[in-house]
A and B are shown apart, each in its own frame.
Chain A
Amino acid sequence: MSPRIVYIAFNTFREAVRDRVLYNLIAFALLLSGAAIFVGQISIDIERLVVVNLGLTAVSLFGIVIAIFIGIGLVSKEIDKRTLYTVLSRPVRRWEFIVGKFLGLAGTLVVNTFFMAIGVFGALLYVAHKFSKPDALILVALYFIVLEFLIICSLALLFSSFSSPLLSAVFAFSLFVIGSFADDLRGFATLTHGITRWVATAAAYLVPNFSALNVISAAAHQQPMGSHLILQNTLYALFYTVMALSGAVLIFERRNLK
């Protein structure tokens, strides 16, 4: 990998840390420890389920919010502050800038998820007093959440490469919502006929399928997940990310920055 990409990625990570993004870990820790302690008193027989469900949902939502709100500003902020011109006046290609920004944001989210995962397992140990073998499924769910982040980051960057931060946030969040209904969209497509069916099917395949990456409930109920699913989801997320990043690069390469 080009050292220039690594440098941009590292600086993006450093900037996110300097922007106090990792402070969300405090809110996460409070949320999870509160749930672990209090749920047993207000509900019946779901302490473990709540810790896993709440923990993984919070990891996912916190990460998505961070991915969207940082991702949308990655390009536009550099343009507004005019720092982009300084960067591009050096021997840095535009695509390297986009890829570096993506890797920096993804790295931030991976670090964030790592600390949150420690919190989830800590809370689990608190309520269950021990770990069991099926708890490893939580790692699979966390891995899928990270794959979700890669897709969201790439989409946020894609929108950021041609739109304003506000519109980029709207687009990215809308795609997250629509992607959560991807299975339903495909179901609707099968109910239609003719050209509508083609359009609906194309739309269903174009939006990111976040429902396939959401295995939180399965992990909470310790339902086994096959290695095929892990492999296919990994490939899907990587291809989708490359697709969105390629789009971002194509747009950014042609963008008039004067």
Chain B
Amino acid sequence: MTAPQRTTAIAAACLAVSMSACVLLLRNIDRIRPRATIEDALYISSPKMVKRASLGFDGLMACIYWTRTVQYFGHRHFDNARTYNELAPLLEITTTLDPHLVPAYEFGASFLAPKPPGGAGEPERAIRLMKYGIEHNPDNWHLYYDLGFVYYMELKDYPSAAAVFESGSKVPDAHPFMKIMAAQMAAHAGDFSTARMLWSATYESSKESIIRQNALEHLRALKVDEDVTNLEAAVADFAAREGNPPVSMSELVMAEHLPGFPVDPDGNPYQLTLDGQIQVWNPDDFPFITKGTPPGYNPPPPKFHTQN
């Protein structure tokens, strides 16, 4: 081996060894370094400052901040976190950088509004975000729909929801169901049928698989909530008539002339507890249900079902 060849071989070996060592060390450093310090840091919190620092390339910066928002929410959600301190500021920066970035409003509201662990539990900030979005994109009826949705689902503010749906229905090319929504809000605001209509409309009108899966999951949860409500009413009727709750589901089905043995959307039978409560077979399969869970139940992060 000549001297230059030897040098080449040694340098190549050093390069390979050093590179491997760097990778191994970084993996070790990542393990010992606390993750939260990285995720929770928002080095520049002023949207205007970030916009100025982008030197006019604010469109790309908005995409970067939106991706960061998605990653932040995803990580926190995956960790079953109860707080999302940086979510609203990240969304604010994203939409200040690019006020026409519609996905940031649509998804952002659905990240902000729901109660933890499904979301940040900040419906007021979601509403502020959506209003800012409508202000800059007044011809986008989807934003009115999403705002009405937050009013309806999270705040149960039915008059505001009706007013927003009504405003959205006047936008050119708005989907006809906006008018129906406005009317439905006014007449049957708190009904299961109205909620089902909203989630069905979300499912039908969106092309995004994540939104469709989320809507599907809520439709399944609504079915459970409605079933449990009806079954508990039947138990109450039985108890009022007989003086004590039924001892089994079979007894309830026979006494109340229910149309068959009640099952949840997965086909599993509902459970009747000794104190007359109705529970689902496995509440983890229905992350958005508000009824039919055991006392003190803490829901896991939602897992989505893909089939209809």
Tell me whether A44 and B208 are in contact (CB under 8 A). yes
Tell me whether B70 and A44 are in contact (CB under 8 A). yes
Partner among A44, A52, A214 whose Cβ is within 8 Å of the Cβ of B56? A214
Report if A177 contacts B (CB, 8 A): yes
**Interface bracket on A:** 20 to 34
Binding stretch for chain A, among B2-10, B31-39, B99-107, B242-250? B99-107
A49-B101, A217-B100 known; A43-B63 Cβ under 8 A: yes
- Complex CA gap A52/B60 in Å reads 9
A42-B71, A46-B66 known; A180-B101 Cβ under 8 A: no
Tell me whether A210 and B70 are in contact (CB under 8 A). no
Report if B23 contacts A (CB, 8 A): no
Kindly list chain B residues whose C-beta atoms are within 8 Å of the C-beta of A146.
none
- Complex CA gap A61/B57 in Å reads 10
Interface of B: prevailing SS: helix
Report if B67 contacts A (CB, 8 A): yes
A44-B103, A46-B66, A181-B52 known; A217-B71 Cβ under 8 A: no
Tell me whether B63 and A49 are in contact (CB under 8 A). yes
Chain A proximity mask over B37-67: 1 for CB below 8 Å, otherwise 0 = 0000000000000001001111110110011
Partner among A54, A181, A211, A221 whose Cβ is within 8 Å of the Cβ of B60? A54
Kindly list chain A residues whose C-beta atoms are within 8 Å of the C-beta of B106.
45
Kindly list chain B residues whose C-beta atoms are within 8 Å of the C-beta of A53.
57, 59-60, 62-63
Tell me whether A180 and B63 are in contact (CB under 8 A). no
Partner among A44, A60, A211, A217 whose Cβ is within 8 Å of the Cβ of B98? A217
Tell me whether B59 and A46 are in contact (CB under 8 A). no
Report if B11 contacts A (CB, 8 A): no
Chain A proximity mask over B266-284: 1 for CB below 8 Å, otherwise 0 = 0000000000000000000
Closest residue of chain B to A39, judged by CB? Answer: B67
A177-B55, A181-B52 known; A57-B100 Cβ under 8 A: no
Report if A220 contacts B (CB, 8 A): yes
Kindly list chain B residues whose C-beta atoms are within 8 Å of the C-beta of A39.
63, 67
Tell me whether B59 and A220 are in contact (CB under 8 A). yes
Cβ of A35 to closest chain B Cβ, rounded Å: 9
Closest residue of chain A to B137, judged by CB? Answer: A221
Closest residue of chain A to B97, judged by CB? Answer: A217
Kindly list chain B residues whose C-beta atoms are within 8 Å of the C-beta of A45.
103, 106-107, 208
A sample of 8 cross-chain residue pairs with beta-carbon separation below 8 angstroms, ordered by A number, consists of: A43-B70, A44-B66, A53-B62, A54-B60, A57-B57, A210-B56, A211-B56, A216-B57
Besides A42-B67, A44-B107, A60-B57, 6 more A-B contacts (Cβ < 8 Å) are A46-B66, A49-B59, A49-B101, A53-B62, A54-B63, A57-B59
Binding site for B on A (CB under 8 A): 39, 42-46, 49-50, 52-54, 57, 60-61, 177, 180-181, 184, 210-211, 214, 216-217, 220-221, 223
